[in-house]
């Protein structure tokens, strides 16, 4: 097997073996405003710890600490940006680096305006980032596609970590893991990782396995230069190994080229080499193009190719390398199990091999508590997104930092990547959980209403019930102030959705219908089809057979009884002598715990149930 007869995209895999003399790479960042380097205020070092506050509050505190004005959102209504929650534990980090970490983890970007030297920096979500989020959210995933998506995300994260290893640490990979050694010692891995992370649309396509095409001329100059640098070096590689392909004409019209992520081929090969490629970046079109693969570093194929590259770099002839490669490829049909038993590479970086103890005994902990312990025990900077969630059980004992990272990934669903002394975490389903959130201003409003009115009132519960179930289950039910003021009693999981649905039905009624409902009876025949459907859904939640009934002579009534603690009872009369189906809402009740501020004595207080 002659080396020059391998598929052209494989030739790029030995790109690092012959391109060590290329010019030094330029760091790519989507936040070009931070790359300008013309604001010395951003060079100051910051030590800051936050356990999961809104980014609005995080930036306000950083502004106070540094004197640099940092704000979130395009305006006062952009709660989907300024209400994002963030965990931060950093020590002596440059402000500009922390700003990059924040925008990277949250998938936002920075811009600035104002007087030179006194700029105000704004964190916001641009249209490409919104498109990435919406695309991830709308993609229906099978178990197999979800596994592939997570594997691609892990590969991108590992590329970042490998590119930040010291020369000494990287050298230790040479014999143990030759492919990761190549990625760690040559600019290729860093170039690809930074390009992907700096270009949300390309990253989204790679992660999801979608095809996407972009004109090179539409890319920011720094991304154009990165693609041009890789393409030029690849062309030099072809000539250095004696290949007949000549891409000089292609490179001469670079600004007119197309950049394609995961370009589809008429007949996709199913050989072992192709199965090890998780994605591709193609420069050009048709036969005159350059293919840049994203290879699975954990595959035997990667190990075989890495071994071949190391041999070439050591001066072994191409003929000898080709013979050995043919032998190695013959045994690479099935990927090996990870030596560490982990889905991530936690063996290459010595910093991940240090043993620490996060908890000395079995502990039920939230993500902020666990990451605070990690930052303190491991001596690493930590930046993570955060969504409200129930605490999870963490096992005690000494483990390596890498093993702890994998335990956190498994327990909390947070992917991680390490760059230098910083660990970034991003929730694996951040794009889905974003839709579970509720504006903090609403939560504050209902909390204050409950405080002033001795518990949430009927109208408050109607408003809350009209949120989506995911918002109620994953945000409202995890907000103790609201749960303890009546949400837990009336809309909690033990209710089975009965009260949520009857209150949604009530929220659809007009004023005249509500008057009829409370003064006499509301006739089902007076309901619109949408209202009747909502009532049927409430009946279905009770397990009632009446949910399948047709709209006819049925009636509905709402009674109110009691003072202080008030019961609101809906009665659905199916007709004839059948007993009514009832729904009961109780207001004016508040649960307190020993940690709560004591309410005024007139409040009706019920001890909180044991967890």
Q: What is the mean pLDDT of residues 232-258?
A: 65
Neighbours of 304 (CB within 10 A): 23
Strands of 342-437, DSSP E: 355-357, 363-365, 381-386, 392-394, 398-400, 414-419, 422-427
Query: Could you tell me the pLDDT band of residue 95, with boundaries at 50, 70 and 90?
Result: very high
Half-sphere exposure of 436 (CA within 13 A, CB side): 19
**CA distances for 538 relative to 44, 288, 308, 506, 583, angstroms:** 58, 62, 66, 11, 9
Q: Do domains 42-128 and 355-434 have the same CATH topology?
A: yes
* Best CA proximity match to 377, nearest among 98, 89, 53: 89
Contact between 487 and 503 (Cβ < 8 Å) = no
CATH class belonging to 355-434: alpha beta
pLDDT at 142: 64
Q: What is the mean pLDDT of residues 372-392?
A: 96
Contact between 570 and 556 (Cβ < 8 Å) = yes
pLDDT at 15: 40
CB contact set of 459 (below 8 Å; sequence gap of 6+): none
How far apart are the C-alpha atoms of 272 and 445, rounded to whole Å? 58
The H or E element spanning position 10 is helix 8-13
Contact between 412 and 392 (Cβ < 8 Å) = yes
Confidence (pTM): 0.72
Q: Is residue 517 classed as helix, strand or coil in its secondary structure?
A: helix
φ, ψ of residue 418 to 5 degrees: the values are -115, 130
For residue range 573-611, what is the model confidence (pLDDT) as tens digits?
998 788 999 999 999 877 655 454 444 443 333 344 444
pLDDT at 273: 60
Domains of the chain, by residue range, sit at 3-20+146-330, 42-128, 355-434, 439-607
- Dihedral angle of Cα 293, 294, 299, 303, to the nearest 10 degrees: 60
Neighbours of 520 (CB within 10 A): 10
* Best CA proximity match to 73, nearest among 114, 34, 106, 38: 106
- Average predicted confidence (pLDDT) for the chain: 82
How far apart are the C-alpha atoms of 321 and 305, rounded to whole Å? 10
Query: Could you tell me the pLDDT band of residue 477, with boundaries at 50, 70 and 90?
Result: very high
CB contact set of 427 (below 8 Å; sequence gap of 6+): 385, 386, 387, 412, 413, 414, 415, 433
**CA distances for 263 relative to 196, 421, 452, 570, angstroms:** 16, 36, 60, 58
Q: What is the mean pLDDT of residues 332-340?
A: 44
Q: What percent of the chain shows pLDDT beyond 70? A: 82
pLDDT at 358: 96
Neighbours of 314 (CB within 10 A): 10
Q: Which CATH number applies to 42-128: 3.40.50.620, 1.20.1600.10, 3.55.50.30, 1.10.3720.10?
A: 3.55.50.30
The structure tokens 């396995």 sit at 209
Residue 336 DSSP code: P
How far apart are the C-alpha atoms of 70 and 119, rounded to whole Å? 9
Q: What is the mean pLDDT of residues 511-540?
A: 93
Contact between 270 and 347 (Cβ < 8 Å) = no
How far apart are the C-alpha atoms of 456 and 447, rounded to whole Å? 8
* Best CA proximity match to 386, nearest among 89, 62, 72: 89
Sign of the torsion angle spanned by Cα atoms 523, 525, 530, 536: positive
pLDDT at 243: 52
pLDDT at 141: 59
How far apart are the C-alpha atoms of 83 and 338, rounded to whole Å? 39
- Dihedral angle of Cα 158, 160, 161, 165, to the nearest 10 degrees: 130
The structure tokens 């964190």 sit at 123
Q: Is residue 11 classed as helix, strand or coil in its secondary structure?
A: helix
pLDDT at 242: 45
Phi-psi region of 575 (alpha: psi -120 to 50; beta: other; left: phi over 0): left
Q: What is the mean pLDDT of residues 78-92?
A: 97
pLDDT at 229: 74
Contact between 361 and 416 (Cβ < 8 Å) = no
């Amino acid at each position: 097997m002659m080396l020059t007869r391998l598929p052209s995209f494989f030739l790029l895999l030995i790109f690092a073996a012959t391109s060590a003399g290329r010019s030094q790479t330029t760091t790519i960042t989507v936040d070009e405003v931070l790359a300008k380097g013309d604001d010395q205020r951003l060079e100051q070092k910051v030590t800051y710890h936050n356990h999961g506050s809104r980014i609005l509050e995080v930036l306000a505190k950083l502004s106070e600490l540094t004197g640099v004005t940092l704000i979130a959102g395009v305006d006062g209504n952009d709660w989907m940006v300024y209400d994002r929650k963030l965990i931060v534990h950093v020590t002596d980090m440059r402000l500009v680096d922390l700003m990059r970490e924040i925008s990277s983890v949250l998938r936002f970007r920075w811009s600035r305006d104002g007087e030179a030297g006194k700029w105000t920096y704004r964190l916001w979500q641009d249209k490409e980032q919104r498109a990435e989020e919406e695309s991830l959210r709308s993609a229906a995933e099978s178990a197999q596609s979800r596994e592939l998506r997570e594997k691609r995300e892990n590969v991108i994260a590992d590329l970042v970590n490998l590119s930040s290893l010291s020369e000494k640490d990287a050298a230790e990979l040479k014999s143990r893991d030759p492919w990761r050694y190549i990625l760690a010692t040559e600019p290729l891995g860093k170039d690809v990782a930074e390009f992907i992370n700096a270009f949300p649309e390309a990253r989204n396509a790679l992660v999801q396995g979608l095809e996407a095409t972009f004109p090179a001329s539409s890319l920011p100059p720094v991304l154009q230069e990165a693609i041009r640098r890789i393409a030029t070096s690849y062309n030099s590689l072809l000539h250095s190994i004696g290949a007949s392909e000549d891409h000089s004409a292609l490179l001469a019209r670079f600004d007119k080229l197309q950049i394609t992520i995961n370009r589809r081929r008429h007949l996709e090969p199913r050989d072992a080499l192709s199965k090890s490629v998780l994605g591709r970046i193609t420069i050009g079109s048709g036969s005159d193009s350059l293919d840049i693969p994203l290879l699975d570093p954990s595959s035997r194929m990667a190990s075989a190719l890495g071994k071949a590259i190391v041999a070439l770099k050591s001066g072994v002839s191409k003929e000898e390398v080709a013979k050995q490669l043919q032998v190695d490829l013959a045994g690479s049909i099935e990927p090996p199990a990870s030596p560490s038993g982990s889905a991530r590479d936690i063996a290459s970086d010595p910093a991940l091999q240090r043993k620490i103890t996060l908890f000395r005994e079995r502990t039920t902990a939230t993500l902020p508590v666990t990451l605070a312990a990690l930052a303190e025990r491991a001596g690493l900077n930590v930046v993570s997104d955060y969504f409200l969630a129930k605490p999870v059980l963490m096992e005690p004992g000494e483990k390596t930092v890498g093993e702890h990272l994998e335990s956190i990934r498994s327990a909390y669903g947070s992917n991680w990547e390490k760059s230098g002394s910083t660990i970034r975490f991003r929730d694996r389903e951040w794009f889905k959980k974003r839709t579970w959130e509720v504006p903090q201003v609403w939560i504050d409003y209902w909390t204050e209403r409950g405080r002033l009115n001795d518990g949430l009132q009927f109208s408050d519960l109607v408003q809350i019930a009209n949120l989506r179930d995911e918002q109620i289950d994953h945000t409202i039910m995890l907000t103790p102030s609201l749960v303890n003021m009546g949400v837990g009693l009336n809309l909690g999981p033990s209710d089975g959705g009965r009260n949520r649905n009857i209150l949604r039905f009530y929220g659809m009624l007009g004023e005249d219908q509500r008057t009829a409902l409370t003064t006499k009876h509301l006739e089902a025949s007076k309901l619109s089809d949408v209202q009747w459907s909502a009532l049927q859904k409430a009946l279905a939640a009770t397990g009632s057979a009446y949910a399948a009934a047709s709209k006819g002579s049925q009636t509905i009534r709402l009674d109110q009884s009691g003072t202080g603690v008030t019961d609101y009872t809906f009665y659905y009369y199916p007709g004839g002598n059948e007993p009514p189906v009832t729904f009961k809402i109780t207001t004016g009740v508040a649960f307190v715990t020993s940690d709560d501020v004591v309410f005024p004595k007139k409040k009706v207080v019920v001890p909180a149930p044991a967890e």
